[in-house]
Amino acid sequence: MTFAGSTSGKPARKRPILAITAAAFFASMLPAQAEKLTIWGGWPEMEPFYKRVGEQLKKKYPDLEVSVELIALREHEKRNALALPSGAAADVIEMEVEATRYLEGGLVPAAPDNVVKFVKDGKHFDKFFQDSVTFEDKIYGVPLFRGQTALYYNTDMYAKAGLSGAPKTMEDYTPYAEKLTQRDAQGKPTVSGWSLRLSGGGQGVAEKFWINLFQFGGNLLEEKDGKWKAAFANEAGRKAFKQYVENVQVLKTVSPEMKADAEAFELEQTAMFIRESWVIGDIAKKSPNLKYATAPLPRGSIVIPVNLYVPTKPGKKADLAWEYVLQANEPENLQWLLDNIGWLPNRKDVDYSAIIAKTPAFGAFVNFPSDYKFFSLPAIAPASEILTRVAARLVDGYTNPKLQSDAAIDAFLKEAAAEVDTILKREGLLATP
């Protein structure tokens, strides 16, 4: 697996410790009991997995109580932002690239020697995933699973529209969407041809735009000598943004008011969409009779590693928390995770072949062209802020009737890129020309 733009793995500069803002509020949440572990995460579908791991650990520690508290991702990020500076976070927490901000602030202890040995073993993880939990040459967490995208499409709708396979290029997606859109007598779409991410809080809108942008040969950010700059105010950015505008405003193959994403796909209210592998597990539970297939994207996919960290200060309880983290990475648990939840585990020395053979939809996520490329979010402190700011602009822009000409789109992208560069400059991370 190679990455067109990945976490740099280079030491980042030290930053001041984040302000303590909520000590009193979170004081009551401190896990004071010696035999209790609290797990926080931002993917609620992971609850049965974490409970399963807890039950396994209780066989060794009968008095152990494991509390799994999973909430929506953006709320989880806010919870971490409040609790980590005050020392009131859970014993085990999930984090993506936003972990860098807390590692820079010294708010999460480094992993103990046995965990470092496990993570650094090349049999377990590729360097990309090792780098994702490394800061200033120290290991702070353990890789668990990753977000990686592919196309999901309804095979019945494809057949009805006379389409025999997935689109080969990003330009193909629009005529496919036109053929697949179902309309009422007045021409209003009732089933979207392609469910695009048009709204929603946080950075997800920008991530989805980045995925489409990448298919046109672009990137939201690009790295130069360990620093970064906006990279989407160009032809690739214009093509990606214009495709949204054409589908929403001109062709009306989708609208912000329609059901979207996995829910729409499972209810057969959209014909295709791009999403991570967890949808396979979700479809199996909520719409087991749905006829669908998956396909790799035209050029490559985003890969976002999700890792486990232990914020608890070193000691008996932290040792127990790290034991929980390593238990989560046992082969049988990772196989169960893929088979029952659908997220792709990052540990590579585990045999997943039987699960993949049983569920062909995983094929698009593990069997892809040799020249397929991967990219990831940069592990820099302002990553979430940048994506959130870009997302806010995109949500407004997709439905703005003034943004249909190339000139208007170029100006829109130039202004958004300037805001991104301003954030990077403020953080001392802006690459020089």
Percent of the chain with pLDDT over 90: 85
| pLDDT band with cut points at 50, 70 and 90 for residue 13 | very low
Pairing of strands 92-95, 221-224: unpaired
Buried b (16+ CB within 10 A) or exposed e, 281-298: bbbeeebeebebbbbbbb
Determine the pLDDT at residue 30. Answer: 44
Maximum separation of any 2 CA atoms in the chain, in Å? 68
Q: What is the pTM of this model?
A: 0.84
pLDDT at 265 over 70: yes
What are 12's two structure tokens?
């980042």
**What are the tens digits of pLDDT across the range 221-231?**
999 998 999 99
| pLDDT band with cut points at 50, 70 and 90 for residue 36 | very high
What are 7's two structure tokens?
């976490």
Percent of the chain with pLDDT over 70: 92
The C-alpha atoms of residue 181 and residue 196 are separated, in whole angstroms, by 13
**What are the tens digits of pLDDT across the range 149-180?**
999 999 999 999 999 999 999 999 999 999 99
**Residues paired with residue 112 on neighbouring β-strands, in sequence order:** none
The C-alpha atoms of residue 364 and residue 295 are separated, in whole angstroms, by 5
What are 163's two structure tokens?
């389409």
Instruction: For the beta carbon of residue 2, count every other beta carbon within 10 angstroms.
Output: 11
pLDDT at 4 over 60: no
**What are the tens digits of pLDDT across the range 289-343?**
999 999 999 999 999 999 999 999 999 999 999 999 999 999 999 999 999 999 9
Amino acid at 125: F
Q: Are 184 and 190 in contact, with CB atoms under 8 Å apart?
A: yes
What is the residue whose two structure tokens read 């009422």? 184
The C-alpha atoms of residue 267 and residue 382 are separated, in whole angstroms, by 37
The C-alpha atoms of residue 150 and residue 137 are separated, in whole angstroms, by 33
The C-alpha atoms of residue 289 and residue 154 are separated, in whole angstroms, by 11
The C-alpha atoms of residue 345 and residue 333 are separated, in whole angstroms, by 10
Rg (C-alpha) for the chain, rounded Å, is: 22
